[in-house]
Amino acid sequence: MRLEGRTALVTGGAGGIGAATVRRLAAEGARVIAADVDLERADKVAAEVGAQAVALDVTDGAAVRAAFAAAGDIDILVNNAGTDRFAFFLDTDEALWDLVLDLNLKGVLHCTHAVLPSMHRRGGVIVNVASEAGRVGSQGSVVYSAAKAGVIGFTKAIARESARYGVRVNAVAPGPIETPLLNSAPVQLGELGERLKQGMIDATAMRRIGQPEEVAAAIAYLASDDASYVTGQTLNVSGGLSMS
Domain of 217, CATH number, reads: 3.40.50.720
- Tell me if 201 is assigned to some domain: no
Q: Tell me the sheet residues that pair with 210.
A: 177
DSSP 230: -
Question: In whole angstroms, what is the distance from residue 152 CA to residue 156 CA?
Answer: 7
- Tell me if 203 is assigned to some domain: no
Asked if residue 189 has pLDDT above 70, the reply is: no
Question: In whole angstroms, what is the distance from residue 2 CA to residue 5 CA?
Answer: 9
To the query of whether residue 144 is one of the catalytic residues in this protein, the response is: yes
Mean pLDDT of the chain: 94
Note the pLDDT of residue 183.
67
pTM, entire model: 0.95
The answer for residues whose C-beta is within 8 angstroms of residue 232's C-beta and 6 or more apart is 155, 156, 159, 160, 163, 169, 170
- Tell me if 70 is assigned to some domain: yes
- Tell me if 125 is assigned to some domain: yes
- Tell me if 218 is assigned to some domain: yes
**Which among 144, 165, 221, 229 is annotated as catalytic?**
144
Task: Work out the pLDDT band at 201, boundaries 50, 70, 90.
Answer: confident
Q: Lowest mean pLDDT: which of 1-15, 21-35, 38-52, 196-210?
A: 196-210
- Tell me if 187 is assigned to some domain: no
Count the domains in the chain.
Answer: 1
Helices (H) and strands (E) in the chain, counts: 10, 7
- Determine the structural domain holding residue 220 and report its residue range: 7-175+212-232
Note the pLDDT of residue 40.
98
Question: In whole angstroms, what is the distance from residue 169 CA to residue 162 CA?
Answer: 8
Asked if residue 191 has pLDDT above 90, the reply is: no
Which amino acid belongs to residue 161?
Answer: E
- Tell me if 132 is assigned to some domain: yes
Asked if residue 51 has pLDDT above 70, the reply is: yes
Note the pLDDT of residue 199.
77
- Tell me if 190 is assigned to some domain: no
The answer for residues whose C-beta is within 8 angstroms of residue 160's C-beta and 6 or more apart is 232
Query: What is the tens place of the pLDDT at every residue in 111-170?
Result: 999 999 999 999 999 999 999 999 999 888 999 999 999 999 999 999 999 999 999 999
The 3-state DSSP class for residue 86 equals coil
